[in-house]
C-alpha cells in the first residue's frame, strides 16, 4: 500500500491490532471534545464506549466483518505510532462495487496532512487491489477540517442528507461526497497528493 512522508512524519496504514487497545483508548478519551461533535453517539456515553476494556469487543467485530469482506479497517500511523483510523465500510460487491470511507485523527497530528495522506492511501487501495468502483464520504457541513481533506483529495459534493446520522446526541444533516474509479488522475490520489508538494512517497 505504500507510505507518504508528511511534515508530521511517515504516514502508513496497517490492519487494526488487538494490542492497539490502550493507545486507542488514550487518544479517544483525551480527544473527546475534538471527536465527539463529528461521530455517531456511542451507546452508554463517550467514556464507557472508549475505555480500553471496550476495544477487544470492537476489534473482534471488525476482524469478523473484515473476514466477510464487508469492511476494511485500517490503523493510521505516524512513524509507527497510532494516529487514527481510516475505515472503509459497507463494502458492497457486484454490481455496485461501492463503499464508504470514514476517518479520524489524533489532535497531536491534525493540520499536518496526516489524515489526507492516510485517506489517499486507502482510496488508491480501494480503486486498485480491492477493485471498487465508487467511494462515498458523509460529513457534517460544520466540519471544516474534514471538508478540506475531501476537497484536497478530489471528492465531489453530491448532495445533502437531512437528519442522516445520530451524532453528538441529535440527528444531524450530512453532506455527501463521492468519487468513482474513473476520476483519479494518472498516478492515483497518492500521485495527486505528491504533486501538491506537501508529501512525498516513501
Give per-residue pLDDT as tens, 105-128: 999 999 999 999 999 999 999 999
Q: Where are the domains of the chain?
A: 4-196
Amino acid 153: pLDDT: 97
119 grid coordinates: 485517506
The span from the CA of 157 to the CA of 137, in Å, is 9
Q: Give the pairing of strands 156-167 and 170-180.
A: antiparallel
Amino acid 37: pLDDT: 94
Mean per-residue pLDDT of the chain = 96
Q: What is the pLDDT of residues 156-182, one digit of tens each?
A: 999 999 999 999 889 999 999 999 999
Amino acid 86: pLDDT: 98
Amino acid 66: pLDDT: 97
User: For the domain with range 4-196, which CATH number is right: 3.30.70.3340, 3.40.630.30, 3.60.15.10, 3.40.50.11810?
Assistant: 3.40.630.30
Amino acid 41: pLDDT: 86
The span from the CA of 178 to the CA of 154, in Å, is 9
The span from the CA of 14 to the CA of 84, in Å, is 11
Task: Give yes or no for residue 43 having a pLDDT over 90.
Answer: no
For the segment 89-101, the average pLDDT, to the nearest whole number, is 97
Amino acid 10: pLDDT: 98
Amino acid 151: pLDDT: 96
pTM above 0.85, yes or no: yes
Amino acid 1: pLDDT: 82
Amino acid 73: pLDDT: 98
Task: Give yes or no for residue 197 having a pLDDT over 90.
Answer: no
In the chain, DSSP assigns E strands to 4-6, 9-15, 72-78, 81-92, 98-105, 134-139, 156-167, 170-180, 200-201
Amino acid 198: pLDDT: 81
Amino acid at each position: 500500500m505504500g507510505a507518504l512522508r508528511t511534515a508530521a512524519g511517515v504516514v502508513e496504514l496497517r490492519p487494526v491490532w488487538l494490542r492497539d487497545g490502550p493507545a486507542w483508548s488514550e487518544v479517544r478519551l483525551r480527544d473527546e471534545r475534538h471527536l465527539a461533535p463529528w461521530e455517531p453517539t456511542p451507546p452508554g456515553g463517550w467514556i464507557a464506549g472508549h475505555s480500553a476494556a471496550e476495544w477487544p469487543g470492537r476489534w473482534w467485530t471488525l476482524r469478523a466483518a473484515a473476514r466477510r469482506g464487508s469492511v476494511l479497517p485500517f490503523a493510521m500511523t505516524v512513524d509507527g505510532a497510532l494516529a487514527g483510523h481510516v475505515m472503509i465500510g459497507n463494502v458492497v460487491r457486484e454490481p455496485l462495487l461501492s463503499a464508504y470511507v470514514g476517518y479520524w485523527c489524533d489532535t497531536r497530528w491534525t493540520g499536518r496532512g496526516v489524515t489526507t495522506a492516510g485517506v489517499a492511501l486507502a482510496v488508491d487501495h480501494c480503486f486498485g487491489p480491492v477493485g471498487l468502483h465508487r467511494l462515498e464520504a458523509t460529513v457534517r457541513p460544520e466540519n471544516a477540517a474534514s471538508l478540506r481533506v475531501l476537497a484536497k483529495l478530489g471528492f465531489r459534493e453530491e448532495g445533502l442528507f437531512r437528519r442522516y446520522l445520530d451524532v453528538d446526541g441529535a440527528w444531524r444533516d450530512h453532506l455527501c461526497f463521492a468519487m468513482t474509479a474513473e476520476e483519479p488522475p494518472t498516478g492515483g490520489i497518492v500521485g495527486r497528493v505528491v504533486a501538491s508538494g506537501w508529501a512525498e512517497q516513501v
